[in-house]
Amino acid sequence: MRSEDRLKIQNLDIFSQASEKTFHSLTGPGFFQRFPPGVVLVSENNMQDFLYILVDGQVEMYATSHGRVTILDILQPVSLFILAAILNDDVCLQSARTLTEAEVLMIPAARFREAIDNDTAFMHAVVRELSRRYRTTIKELKNQKLRNGSERLANWILAEADYHVDANYIEIPFEKKLLAFKLGMTPENLSRAFATVAKHGVNVDGSRIVFTDRQKLINFAHPDKLIDKREPL
């Protein structure tokens, strides 16, 4: 593993308070691999022997039922996934697939659970991470249940714009079809939602969304900190 990648992982809150011995015991026997796009890393309803940490690239978390597919999240680096399944030593409730070429660190699940027993500071960090994920899930449920599709899209645009404070546009970082699934709607409904938000301060040109009146979009979206404020990493 490159030293810069090691530093990225060690700076994650879940590892930042772990002792050097604990960190080495987790990353030492791990596998650092590069995967091409379209590789299924995790399959739902299966047990997993590793905790995954995305170091570079994009990974989509998705689920299926009776022929239906939904996108639960699209991960950006640096982030870890299937933590709850690893802690409970249980089957995964979602699948993971690389969207782009991706670099992933795979930490043995048994070592991870052992480290929790042996390092109190690390255990506290894991509890904080689970709490953060729970709060994020509640916010996403509120987003889905309290807003219509156009409002969800408008707030997603504003959230993306937070990463580009000085820019007057954003680029959708993945296919619009994936964005539709992530926002809980069909591609057709997403097109209608784009037509709606285009009347409220943005121009949509392919994957580029240009702000013409950001305040007008804010007035339409009605951002709510109890839904839209990001949980600290």
At 42-98, the pLDDT tens digits run: 999 999 999 999 999 999 999 999 999 899 999 999 899 999 999 999 999 999 999
Number of domains in the chain: 2
Q: What is each CA distance from 178 to 28, 30, 120, 128, in whole angstroms?
A: 35, 30, 39, 29
Whether residue 87 lies inside any domain: the answer is yes
Packing angle of the helix pair 214-221, 149-161 (nearest 10 deg): 130
Residues 21 and 136 in one domain: yes
Q: Which of 144, 160, 195 is the last residue of a domain?
A: 144
Half-sphere exposure of 70 (CA within 13 A, CB side): 9
Reduced 3-state DSSP string for the chain: CCHHHHHHHHCCHHHHCCCHHHHHHHHCCCEEEEECCCCEEECCCCCCCEEEEEEECCEEEEEEECCEEEEEEEECCCEEECHHHHHHCCCCCCEEEECCCEEEEEEEHHHHHHHHHHCHHHHHHHHHHHHHHHHHHHHHHHHHHHCCHHHHHHHHHHHHHCCCCCCCEEECCCCHHHHHHHCCCCHHHHHHHHHHHCCCCEEEECCEEEECCHHHHHHHHCCCHHHHCCCCC
Q: The domain that contains 140 carries what CATH number?
A: 2.60.120.10
92 & 115 share domain:
yes
Task: Assess if residue 233 is contained within a domain.
Answer: no
Q: Say whether both 167 and 85 belong to one domain.
A: no
Q: Which domain holds residue 136?
A: 3-144
Residue-wise pLDDT tens digits, 193-205 = 999 999 999 999 9
CATH number where 198 lies: 1.10.10.10
pLDDT digit string (tens) for 152-190?
999 999 999 988 777 899 999 999 999 999 999 999 999
pLDDT (tens digit per residue) in 6-32: 888 888 888 988 999 999 999 989 899
Same-domain pairing of 122 and 173: no
Residue 108 lies in a domain: yes
Q: How does the average pLDDT of the chain come out, rounded?
A: 93
- One domain, residues 15 and 126: yes
Buried b (16+ CB within 10 A) or exposed e, 89-123: eeebebbbbbbeebbbbbbbbebbeebbeebeebe
The pTM (predicted TM-score) of the whole model is 0.86
Position 214 in a domain? yes
The answer to whether residues 210 and 103 belong to one domain is no
